[in-house]
């Protein structure tokens, strides 16, 4: 008898959860396009930042001026620099200066842990 109650309770919970999610669906394709355009907008500004770069398992970050940035380095400039200063291996930690674009606030990196992201375009001279 107790097992039957758990089955009924689980079934009712599933029904309530599925009906609650129906309200989040878009009504038509035009609404979907508008939402994706609004969320896809990225406001970026180019800056020069000096700070501590750290790379380890799922961490690729630069800490500068008390803010931790998720690092996007499409040209692998930071890895090339670390090899130049003889930092062998996967794990990296060193002081650096980068020039790049800071993206608008949002969730970046693994599990959207970082609120800010910098896309590196060059290293400072």
Q: State what percent of residues in the chain have pLDDT above 90.
A: 42
Task: Tell me the two tokens of residue 106.
Answer: 């949002």
Give domain status of residue 64, yes or no: yes
Give domain status of residue 18, yes or no: no
| Structural domain span for residue 108 | 45-123
- The DSSP annotation for 6-75 comes to HHHHHHHHHHHHHHHHGGGS-SSHHHHHHHHHHHH----EEEEEEEEEEEETTEEEEEETTEEEEEE-TT
Give domain status of residue 4, yes or no: no
Q: Please give the pLDDT value at position 125.
A: 64
CA distance readout (Å), 98 to 44, 47, 121 = 15, 8, 8
Give domain status of residue 61, yes or no: yes
pLDDT digits over 40-93, tens only? 555 556 899 999 999 998 889 999 999 999 999 999 999 999 999 998 888 999
Instruction: Give the number of domains in the chain.
Output: 1
Question: Residue 78 maps to which CATH number?
Answer: 2.40.50
Q: What is the mean pLDDT of the chain?
A: 77
């Amino acid at each position: 008898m107790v097992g039957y109650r758990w089955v009924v309770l689980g079934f009712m919970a599933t029904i309530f959860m599925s009906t609650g999610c129906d309200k989040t669906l878009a009504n038509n394709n035009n609404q979907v396009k508008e939402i994706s355009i609004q969320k896809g907008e990225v406001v970026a500004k180019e800056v020069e930042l000096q700070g501590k770069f750290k790379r380890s398992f799922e961490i690729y970050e630069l800490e500068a001026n008390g803010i931790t940035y998720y690092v996007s380095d499409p040209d692998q400039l930071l890895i090339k620099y670390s090899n130049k200063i003889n930092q062998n291996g996967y794990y990296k930690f060193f002081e650096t200066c980068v020039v790049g674009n800071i993206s608008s606030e949002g969730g970046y990196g693994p599990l959207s842990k970082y609120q800010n992201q910098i896309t590196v375009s060059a290293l400072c001279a």
